[in-house]
Amino acid sequence: MTPETTAPLLLVEDDALLASTLYDVLSLAGYQVDALEDGDAAFTRLAAPDHGHALVLLDLNLPGRGGLEILDAMRRHDRDTPVLILTARGAIEDRVKGLDLGADDYLAKPFALDELEARVRALLRRRQHDDGTQLHVGALHFDTLTQRFTLDDVTLELPPREQRLLAYLMRHAGEAVEKAHLLEQVFAEETLGDNAIEVYIHRLRRRLAGSSLTLRTVRGLGYLLESDA
C-alpha cells in the first residue's frame, strides 16, 4: 500500500500495549507516526496552528486533559486535519460530543486493525479532495456550511434525516458502512429500527437514480456510495 501522505500521523493513546500495536501497524503500512500518551502533551502539541500532522488518532480517556478538551481546542484554529476518535465501546454520549466538536470518525474499542487502517486511508483520501467545507463525490456536492447538496449542479432538497445520512455516506465514499454503524453515528440521539435505515437508503437511491452515483448494498458489509465518473 502507498500511504496517501508523507506528513506524520499523531497517535494519542495512553494504553501502552495498544499504542505500541497501533504504532507498529501504521508504521508497517508506510506512515510516519508520532505517539503521545499524555493529554496535556497532546493539548500543547495540537493547540499550535502549525502542529504539522496529517491526521490525529485521539483516545478520549487520557491522563491530564481529556480527548474532548483537546479536540475542542484544536478545532478552534484547525478545521481541516482529520480526527479519528478511539473510544470505549458503549460510550455513545462521548462519541456524540466528539462528532459535535468536529471529529471526523470514531472507532469503538476493541476494533479490528484492518478496519483502523481502512478508516485512516479513507480520512486521508478525503483530506486530499476536501477543503474543509466542500465534499465532492463525482457529480454530488455538499457544502457543509450552508448544508446544501447539489447533484449535476441542481440543488438536491432533502429532509433532515436523509441529509445527515447522505452527508455521512459522502464522508465515507468508497467504503462500506455497516447499518449498525449508521445507527450509532448518524442517528445516535434517535430511536430507529433497522428497517428505518433501509427506507432512507431506498429514498436516497431514488434521488440519485440516473446520475453517476451508485448507493450499493455490499452483502455482509453494509452500504457503499461510489461514483462512476
Is there a contact between 70 and 43 (Cβ–Cβ < 8 Å)?
yes
72-86 pLDDT, tens digit each? 999 888 887 899 999
Predicted pLDDT of residue 1: 44
Q: How far, in Å, CA of 38 to CA of 190, rounded?
A: 34
3-state helix, strand, coil in the chain (%, to 5): 40, 25, 40
Burial profile 209-225: b = 16 or more Cβ within 10 angstroms, e = fewer: eebebebeeeeeebbbb
**Which candidate, 62, 69, 61, places its Cα nearest to that of 87?**
61
Give residue for cell 447533484. Answer: 151
Pick out the chain residues at pLDDT < 70.
1-6, 89-91, 126-133, 189-190, 194, 229
Burial profile 9-31: b = 16 or more Cβ within 10 angstroms, e = fewer: bbbbbbeeeebeebbebbeebeb
Quick one: 174 exposed, middle or buried, by C-beta within 10 A (0-12, 13-18, 19+)?
A: middle
**Which candidate, 129, 201, 195, 138, places its Cα nearest to that of 164?**
201
Predicted pLDDT of residue 221: 85
33-73 pLDDT, tens digit each? 999 999 999 999 998 878 889 899 999 999 999 999 999 99
pTM of the model: 0.58
Q: How far, in Å, CA of 184 to CA of 1, rounded?
A: 30
Predicted pLDDT of residue 126: 67
